[in-house]
């Protein structure tokens, strides 16, 4: 009897498009089933065992027991990300009520760490649907991520790019998401198990980057050149030494404020 398909949580955000590309084009056909969710829901389904692996917010990797990370891969920003923004009607020090996009829990933690430790303010927070106009109608500032951030009207607002803020504060890239696998997940009978498939999926995406760019133009309205820069300069997909150092610092700061367990660290698959 053939083993059941490996259940893979897919995040259909623009920044994940190269990582997902191979899987969406049929890589490992018959080995995988694809489950499309936003990062926060993907993390919940991974915790509940509804999927075997998923692309999840980096903070969730240390919050959910029994996960291991696919080595060498992530969604990070070396300096400026352009798609994870704090939009504010007031100066950061004056923010009293902050609306949080519920989709990405790492971004939720990051913005609160920046406001608390860099700007000395601890606003009340509420989760709200990712509609910048409605969020700012009710709150002083809004965390907006993904495609809504890329399309947001920023006129008259203070705009902070959260990866740029993190880099200015720490000198490090920021890691937003990681491929995480349940350690009790069944591995396909292939050399290296599932790990090589994740790397091949990204290789397919970068090989066909012009197709990814063409699709993205229809979705967010940026120029082709802006999107090429986004995928090759604003976003990095390699989990290297500086990214691991950044994650260690992020987890340390998050634990200090109760957002992560003490002593949290990555476990590689």
- pLDDT tens, residue by residue, 8-64: 999 888 899 999 999 999 998 889 999 999 888 999 999 999 999 999 999 999 999
Give the predicted TM-score (pTM) of the model. Answer: 0.94
**Average pLDDT value for residue range 132-155:** 91
Six token digits for residue 244: 């691991």
What is the structure's pLDDT at 188? 79
pLDDT at 240 over 60: yes
More confident residue, 5 or 116: 116
User: Looking at residue 1, what is its pLDDT?
Assistant: 53
Main-chain dihedrals φ then ψ at residue 91, nearest 5 degrees: -65, 150
Does position 166 have pLDDT exceeding 90, yes or no?
yes
Query: Does residue 172 have a pLDDT over 80?
Result: yes
pLDDT value of position 191:
79
- pLDDT cut 70: percent of the chain above it: 99
Average pLDDT over residues 157-171: 97
- Would you tell me how many other CB atoms lie within 10 Å of the CB of residue 2? 7
Q: How do residues 181-200 score in pLDDT, each as one tens digit? A: 999 998 877 877 899 999 99
Task: Give the torsion through C-alpha atoms of 41, 192, 232, 153, to 10 deg.
Answer: 0
- Please report which helix (H) or strand (E) contains residue 143, including its range: strand 141-145
139 or 265, which is more confident: 139
Q: Is the pLDDT confidence value at 2 over 80?
A: no
Mean pLDDT of 235-244: 97
pLDDT for 121 beyond 70: yes
Mean pLDDT rounded to a whole number for the chain = 93
How far apart, in whole angstroms, are the C-alpha atoms of residue 238 and residue 54? 17
Spatial contact of 254 and 107, defined as CB atoms under 8 Å apart: no
Q: What percentage of the chain's residues is helix, strand, coil (to nearest 5)? A: 45, 20, 35
At residue 169's C-alpha, the angle toward residues 144 and 84, to 5°, is 15
Residue bearing the bigger pLDDT, 218 or 95: 95
Tell whether the model's pLDDT for residue 153 goes beyond 90.
Answer: no
For tokens 């660290």, what's the residue?
Answer: 265
Segment 165-173 mean pLDDT: 98
């Amino acid at each position: 009897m053939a083993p059941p398909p490996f259940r893979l949580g897919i995040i259909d955000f623009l920044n994940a498009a190269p990582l997902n590309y191979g899987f969406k084009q049929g890589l490992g056909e018959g080995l995988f089933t694809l489950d499309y969710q936003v990062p926060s829901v993907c993390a919940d389904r991974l915790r509940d065992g509804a999927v075997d692996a998923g692309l999840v917010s980096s903070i969730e990797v240390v919050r959910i027991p029994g996960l291991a990370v696919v080595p060498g891969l992530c969604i990070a920003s070396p300096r400026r990300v352009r798609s994870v923004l704090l939009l504010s009607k007031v100066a950061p020090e004056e923010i009293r009520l902050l609306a949080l996009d519920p989709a990405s829990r790492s971004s939720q933690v990051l913005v609160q760490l920046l406001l608390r430790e860099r700007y000395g303010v601890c606003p009340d927070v509420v989760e709200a649907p990712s509609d910048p106009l409605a969020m700012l109608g009710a709150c002083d500032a809004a965390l907006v991520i993904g495609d809504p951030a890329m399309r947001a009207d920023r006129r008259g607002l203070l705009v902070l790019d959260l990866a740029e803020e993190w880099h200015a504060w720490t000198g490090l890239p920021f890691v937003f998401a990681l491929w995480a696998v349940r350690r009790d997940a069944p591995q396909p009978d292939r050399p290296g198990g599932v790990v090589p498939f994740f790397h091949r999926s990204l290789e397919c995406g970068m090989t066909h980057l012009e197709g990814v760019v063409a699709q993205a133009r229809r979705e967010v309205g940026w120029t082709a050149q802006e999107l090429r820069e986004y995928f090759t300069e604003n976003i990095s997909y390699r989990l290297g030494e500086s990214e691991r150092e950044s994650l260690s610092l992020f987890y340390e700061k998050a634990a200090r404020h109760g957002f992560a367990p003490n002593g949290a660290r990555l476990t590689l698959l």
